[in-house]
Amino acid sequence: MNALDVIRTKRDGGELTDAQIRFFLDGYTAGRIPDEQTSALLMAIVFRGLTARELATWTATMIDSGARLDLSSISRPTVDKHSTGGVGDKVSLPLCPLVAACGAAVPQLSGRGLGHTGGTLDKLEAIPGWRARLGNEEVLRILRDVGAVICAASDDLAPADRKLYALRDVTGTVESIPLIASSIMSKKIAEGTSALVLDVKTGGGAFLPPIEKARELAQTMVGIGERNGVRTVALITDMEWPLGRTAGNGLEVAEAVEVLAGGGPSDVVEVTLALAREMVALAGLHADPAAMLASGRAMDVWRAMIRAQGGDPDAPLPQATERELVRATTTGTLQHLDARAVGNAAWRLGAGRARKEDPVSPSAGVRILVKPGEPVSTGQPLLELLTDDVARIPDALIALADAFVVSHAPFRPRLLVHERLSQ
């Protein structure tokens, strides 16, 4: 058996055997199969897909590539959440401490930015001193003491996925239902949580914009979770427009803290509470997340969680040195703000990465000054672009060239939560 035969089989529309899948993923994880050959197989999967059997074996092999986290010592019920990624989606930041304040233990293994979307770990690393890398014993201690932890998967937890995740980001192979589903679920199953709520995005800023694709992805992941003994529910939520009023690492942390303080954008609050209610229900708890958020106890958990991971919740966040305003060219109501365009602009300003080894800027990003449905007049600032490198601004402006629709037509709001799926 060799890597070229596996690539050719999938390229030509054939079905990989269990042995071929295990051979290839084990070889890539161990460094015997290089990035270029793995990229070729990933691209073949993007075009040819995986059968249900192939996907089951692919996911199981990624889980088996490392250890599983044992959460049996945690006295609280365990529940986690995962988002498929969006623009301005900082929901994990207030959600995890909120659900922990309701009585659950939330062991959230998060990732870096992929393509035009931000990564939860990149955002939290804007907080001075905060650490994403924790040992398994440290994770368990924080869960026992605080109730919530957001961290990177340890080196021995689904290492195959860690390597594939970074490679997909820079090879145009993110937008694939089997690759997305297996990546997410291998980590979530390996982390040992008993229940999982999935936030599957739909709309122009999602990796899979059509709601039919979002539904297929949600159903695929719910099925994987249930077959592996993890109670799983999915919400399909909207990502046609950016969530909240910021897109960028430190900017989104600041907005998440506003939510925990009882304020923040209404759309971020609505999605946070919708997911929290599902998580609390799956955990078998009877707390009211809205009341818990209003009480301030979620903020207390946030501060404890940040300190437990080496961060200073009171430290000022990094500030960009360069700014540029994008202004309206006409008068009317802002009907549309393209989430993907805003995400690409934030990426070009330095908030994302073009190569897997690239650093990201904690201060770069986009501040959204006008949301869809709000009135605008000619010359009014719509967006504020923030960066530490003024040379990045022209490319960001190009990304935003067709991002706005302003007219006098009646505004049609979109649902934030479209559907709920379970088995």
- pLDDT at position 149 is 97
How many other C-beta atoms can be found within 10 angstroms of the C-beta atom of residue 263? 11
DSSP 277-326: HHHHHHTT----HHHHHHHTHHHHHHHHHHHHTT--TTSPPP--SEEEEE
Contacts of 370 (CB under 8 A, 6+ apart): 328, 334, 337, 376, 380, 381, 382
3-state secondary structure at position 396: helix
Between the two ends of the chain, the Cα-to-Cα distance in Å is 38
Which option is the CATH number for 322-407: 3.20.20.370, 1.10.340.30, 3.90.1170.30, 3.30.70.260?
Answer: 3.90.1170.30
The fold of the 80-315 domain, in CATH, is Pyrimidine Nucleoside Phosphorylase; Chain A, domain 2 (3.40.1030)
Inter-residue contact 173 to 39 (CB < 8 Å): yes
Per-residue pLDDT of the chain (423 residues; tens, 9 = 90+): 899 999 999 999 999 999 999 999 999 999 999 999 999 999 999 999 999 999 999 999 999 999 889 999 999 999 999 998 899 999 999 999 999 999 999 999 888 876 677 889 999 999 999 999 998 899 999 999 999 999 988 878 889 998 998 899 789 898 899 999 999 999 899 999 999 999 999 999 998 899 999 999 999 999 999 988 999 999 999 999 999 999 999 999 999 999 999 999 999 999 999 999 999 999 999 999 999 999 999 999 999 999 999 999 999 999 999 999 999 999 999 999 999 999 999 999 999 876 667 789 999 999 999 999 999 999 999 999 999 999 999 999 999 999 999 999 999 999 999 999 998
Question: Running DSSP on this structure, what letter comes out for residue 413?
Answer: -
pLDDT at 356: 62
Domain 3-49: give its CATH architecture: Up-down Bundle (1.20)
Are 299 and 314 in contact by the 8 Å Cβ rule? The answer is: no
C-alpha 224/C-alpha 247 separation (Å) is 31
Dist. CA 165–CA 183, nearest whole Å: 7
* CA neighbor of 81 nearest in space, from 71, 91, 68: 91
Q: What is the pLDDT, as a whole number, of residue 328? A: 97
The predicted pLDDT at position 158 comes to 87
CA–CA gap between residue 49 and residue 64 (Å, rounded):
22
- 225-254 burial, b for 16+ CB within 10 Å, e for fewer? beebebbbbbbbbbbbbbbbbbbbbbbbbe
The pLDDT score that the predictor gives to residue 114 is 66
Position 355 scores a pLDDT of 67
Q: In sequence order, what are the beta bridge partners of 323? A: 386
Residues that are catalytic: 82, 161, 168, 183, 187
Tokens of 322: 């360069």
Residue 37, number of CB atoms within 10 A of its CB:
17
**Domain spans in the chain, listed from the N-terminal domain onward:** 3-49, 80-315, 322-407
Q: How do residues 256-277 score in pLDDT, each as one tens digit? A: 999 999 999 999 999 999 999 9
For residues 331 and 376, the answer to whether their CB atoms sit within 8 Å is: yes
Residue that has been written with the tokens 């709001």 in this structure: 413
